[in-house]
Amino acid sequence: MPHVSLLYASAEQMCADAVVHVYHAHAAHGLTVLKEISASLQCTQAMKSEVHALYALGVDVVACPEGLADVALLLPHKNKAQTLYDMACAMRGLKEGGRIILACPNVYGAKSYQKALAALAGGVQASSKSKCRVCSAKKGAGLDEMLLQSWLQQGEMQYMADLGLYSQVSLFSWNRLDDGTRLLLRYLPKLSGRGMDLCCGYGALAAHILHHHDGVTDVSLVDVDGRALQCAEKNTQDLGVPCHTHWLDARVEALPQHLDWVVCNPPFHTGQQQDMDLGQAIVRQGCQSLKRGGHFWMVANRTLAYEHIVRQELAQSETIIEAEGFKIMHGVR
């Protein structure tokens, strides 16, 4: 990702002996350089799959940076509202006179972020290189406090009345129940015992199961996104059944084991790119989490190939229905 390296390289001169906060950080050699030359470096990253790479560089990953920074660096999310939220957090966390720097590929809306930063800070400097745009602004008298508060409010966890659940703008199908989950809930039988909502998002499946399946005794909520888990935890608390959140990269990290059931709506994108290996690895891990006789239920787009994984891992498997562009699959270990 050229914009990642471009951001870190552009910030080197400003970061010498400075307090630096990096929002939505990604691992790259340039980040190691910033760690060596800065007075302190704190990074935020909600995706556990990225956190492993940051840990490998010896970089501190925090939920929210502590103290005020001289320099704030920002890489965009695929969700604009989440990026604006991070932009507001970064500006709020700067010292007076501190500088925020953002790098974005042109195809991901770089010019729109330049305009947004100009509106927030009262001015912006920008340059282009490698089909990317680097924008920077100083925190000063031109700061639009009302706009900052608006972006913070829009990006925070919030109660969605139509869902009856808490959610956040950057999450999958954050403000409505997605069609695949709705179809799975229509065909899901009564579950009992210990189970897992794998790739739980904000916990829509788990919350429904806890409300309607009296035999459930314990639920593990697993997701790669720490923001999703915060919502899922809130949506499943005080429902009378122990629920445990697990911030995991389900492709490679060990999942809860010896379960009676697993439900899953697996992702199949890494960033902006389709990634079939991602979903298949997660489904394989989910199947292996079951005890003998345990049940695996999943929903997927009709065109995506998971059948061979389920057949390899489970003693029995079947496609329950194909409808509305999705398929419901069930298997028994």
3-class DSSP state for residue 106?
helix
- Superfamily of chain region 165-332: Vaccinia Virus protein VP39 (3.40.50.150)
Average pLDDT, the chain: 95
pLDDT digit string, tens, across residues 54-69: 999 999 899 999 999 9
Do 2-155 and 165-332 have matching folds?
yes
CATH architecture designation of domain 2-155: 3-Layer(aba) Sandwich (3.40)
CA distance 85 to 327: 35
Cα–Cα dist 217/197, whole Å: 13
At 212, give phi and psi (nearest 5°): -120, -10
Statement: residue 302 has pLDDT above 60: yes
pLDDT at 267: 86
- Residue 269: pLDDT band with limits 50, 70, 90: very low
**pLDDT confidence of residue 298:** 97
Structure tokens that stand for 13 in this block? 């001169």
Q: Assess whether pLDDT exceeds 80 at residue 274.
A: no
CA gap 97, 183 in Å, rounded: 52
pLDDT of residue 275: 60
E strands, 119-226, where?
125-129, 132-138, 158-160, 165-167, 192-198, 215-223
pLDDT at residue 236 greater than cutoff 50: yes
- The pLDDT tens digits of the residues spanning 81-96 come to 999 999 999 999 999 9
| pLDDT confidence bin for 79, thresholds 50/70/90 | very high
Instruction: Please state the pTM of the whole predicted model.
Output: 0.93
Of the candidate ranges 2-6, 81-85, 145-149, 243-247, the one whose mean pLDDT is the lowest: 2-6
- Per residue in 148-200, pLDDT (tens digit) is 999 999 999 999 999 999 999 999 999 999 999 999 999 999 999 999 999 99
Distance CA 290, CA 287 (A): 6
pLDDT band at 2 (very low <50, low <70, confident <90, very high): confident
Mean pLDDT of the 271-293 span: 85
* Domain ranges across the chain: 2-155, 165-332
pLDDT at 330: 98
